Chain A
Amino acid sequence: MSGLIYLIPIALLLGLAGLGAFFWAMRSGQYDDLDGAAARILIDEE
């Protein structure tokens, strides 16, 4: 049971990291053009 002392904070931190990543992605426009992102990978940059 003493493992909980480490495991619970770790679980919460991982969750918070995920939430933070989502917020970052939203703010930096990752979701603005989903079709474009899929297409852009096919373009060769010279």
Chain B
Amino acid sequence: MTAHASFAGEVVERSLFSVPGAHCAGCLGKIERGLSEVPGVVSARMNLTARQVAILHSGDVQIPQLVAALEALGFSAQPLNDPLGGQERSASRALLRATAVAGFAAMNIMLLSVSVWSGAGGATRELFHLISGLIALPTIGYSGRTFFRSAWSAVRRGRTNMDVPISIGVLLVTGLSLFEALTGGAHVYFDGAVMLIFFLLVGRVLDSIMRDRARDGVTALLKQSASGALVLDENGSSRWVRTEALQPGMRISVAAGERLAADGVIESGSTSLDLSLLTGESAPQFAAVGDTVHAGTLNFGAPIEVRVTAVGQDTSLAEIARLMAEAGQGRSRYVRIADRAARLYAPAVHTLAATAVITWLLLGAGWHQALLVSAAVLIITCPCALGLAVPAAQIVTAGSLMRAGVLVKDGTALERLAEADLALFDKTGTLTLGRPELVNGASIPAVAKPIILALARSSRHPLAEATRRSLEREGVVGASLGGVEEEPGFGVRGHSSCGHVSLGRGAHAGVLSTSFEWPLGPAVELRFEDRLRPDAAEAIRRLRSMGIDCSIVSGDSAASVAAATRGLMMTAAAVMSPQDKLDLVGRLHRTGHKVLMVGDGLNDGPALAAGYVSMAPGSASDVGQNASDAVFLGDSLLPVAKAVSAARRTMRIVRQNFTIAIAYNVCAVPLAFAGKVTPLVAAIAMSLSSIAVVGNALRLRSAAR
């Protein structure tokens, strides 16, 4: 999150924040200008594409102050733990560079080739062939490395993949063309070889960009775990310490509405804790001095002070992490559809090329001519369209899904999503919103609402925020109050025009409620429940109509599962521990099902990692989001159904693309076999098949609708 550097003699730190609310020039200007006026901030730079702002600030400005400064500007911000950059991004960069070089070379060679095809002869042709070779050789060496390296590592392990026929084809064609160019032959295929590399690299770049983009999106969402804690020193002062730097024995203060950053024991204060992220249980639990509390729990009630007992890898989460590491191994055995195609394709192509050489030799042609024909066969069958067919379709769908609020982490996720035939849903936070919502808004007297809203606005307590959201949705305008103050552990008090008012702790323990007291009438009780996500029933109905059976696995008690999911008509398993969920997924896999696991909490982590494919809501824990293949944003559950149908459409298009590529080969291979494929024919055929495949993939632009 923070990097150190020296600036004008003082220590300057760089911190990164996700600001999802910024979306226009006005927001950008407001944030950059507003932040630069904050004392201690050296500069702020907003990246509108990633919705992130990088702030250079002096060492004595701390993260919560910067978050507060952004809040004051009207944007909610989350500190990001993962600094940008890293090796995967540079992999994308290197591919892009290789593509640019191949594109430049292909254009220049094509320029020379066109003049040869339009009739340049004699010395001019030989010169042009030689110049083509001079451009092509370094290009193939530089841009082709990706394929050669991957092919070599496959061959060395006795396997074959898509890159093996590509590499053999390119190397053989280049070698023969070089020989032809040096000996003044009529046909050289440098243009074909370089163009092939260019088209294939475009496919690779698309694939890599898709992964980067989804990962950036997910990084920007890492927000549920506390990124630090306020540490109380022995001398009474306090400072903000990042999660990684926390040590056992430290004393931390956890305000109401904050998440715990480490495991510990309560030293002072008593509160109610929301454990739903850890266990899936929705009812808040009471905790007092001496009780053990766990990282990731949300402090719902009053501020507490906690003596840290375990941090990072030692926390109670470590057990879940261990389960997940084991569960995730099954998924790496999945073989991408392109590689499955290559297993059939590569031997077929090699047999074909070998047959061409043998046939022509038997027909009495010389070695030279036979090799030229087999080179033509290799270049015409090279999986140019195949290499583009899959990534082009997948990136178009991923873009469409991203606009619909689903971030897909990689292409295989779409392939696996299309095959899922059974869906398991967690309850808390997945089928439900995972946050309290005001349920008895209708029974609040209308005159009280403006006062309640004004009181709720002055607190960050989850129940106050739920009240505020609900009343603002109704269009209530806040009253003006005087002397508003928040009393930790109780609530908010203030003076309105009608006298002393307060909004605070409810009368019933164990139920989510708060009580509004005012002079004009009896106390009003506001009750809260965790509601079903909007469109949950519709999403389940759509999934069923696609032949996907849906059921619930929850860590919560049977009674609350039944209460919350009434009306969905789903079978449910309650009181499931993380291990139980993991076992269930394993059992279903053994009976031949392909399980789509949808869950959010840490307790779902192992099941998410073990699922054939998995999705998590944007509000999920870091663990949930990291373990899942796709993340859906917003409150609605519909994106889950949309993602499945988009994935199925994608696989239909991918299969069509394979058909196009095969049809093209069926037409072109006999020509190549007959020795009729000149460099001109190869260039035209290659471009046309690639354009057809990309054009077909573009039909997926509206796949997520």
A interface residues with partner B (beta carbon < 8 Å):
1, 4, 8, 11-12, 15-16, 18-19, 22-23, 26, 32-36, 39-44
Contact = CB atoms under 8 A, between A and B. Distances in A.
B49 A35 contact: yes
B104 A18 contact: yes
Interface of B: 24-25, 28-29, 46-50, 93, 96-97, 100-101, 104, 107-108, 111, 124, 127, 131, 135
A39 B25 contact: yes
Contacts of A26: 93, 96-97
Nearest to A31: B96
**Which of B24, B48, B50, B111 has the most chain A CB atoms closer than 10 A to its own CB?**
B48
Given A32-B47, A40-B25, A43-B29, 7 more contacts: A12-B108, A15-B107, A19-B100, A22-B100, A26-B93, A39-B48, A43-B25
Contacts of B131: 8
B518 to A, nearest CB: 46
Nearest to B127: A4
Contact of A15 (B48, B50, B104): B104
Nearest to A34: B49
Contacts of A41: 25
Contacts of A39: 24-25, 28, 48
Contact of A11 (B24, B46, B97, B111): B111
A24 B184 CA distance: 38
22 contacts: A1-B124, A4-B124, A11-B108, A15-B107, A15-B108, A18-B104, A19-B101, A22-B100, A23-B100, A26-B96, A26-B97, A32-B47, A32-B49, A33-B47, A35-B48, A35-B49, A36-B46, A36-B48, A36-B49, A39-B48, A41-B25, A43-B25
Chain B interface mostly helix, strand, loop or mixed?
helix
A35 to B, nearest CB: 4
Contacts of A18: 104
A26 to B, nearest CB: 7
A36 B104 contact: no
A29 to B, nearest CB: 10
B101 A42 contact: no
- Chain A: interface secondary structure? helix
Contacts of B29: 43-44
B100 A40 contact: no
Contacts of B50: 33
Nearest to A4: B124
Given A8-B131, A26-B93, A40 B101 contact: no
Contacts of A23: 97, 100
Contacts of B49: 32-36
A43 to B, nearest CB: 4
A36 B104 CA distance: 28
Nearest to A42: B25
A26 B96 CA distance: 9
Contacts of A32: 47, 49
A36 B24 contact: no
A15 to B, nearest CB: 5
A34 B48 CA distance: 8
Contacts of A1: 124
A21 to B, nearest CB: 10
Contacts of B135: 12
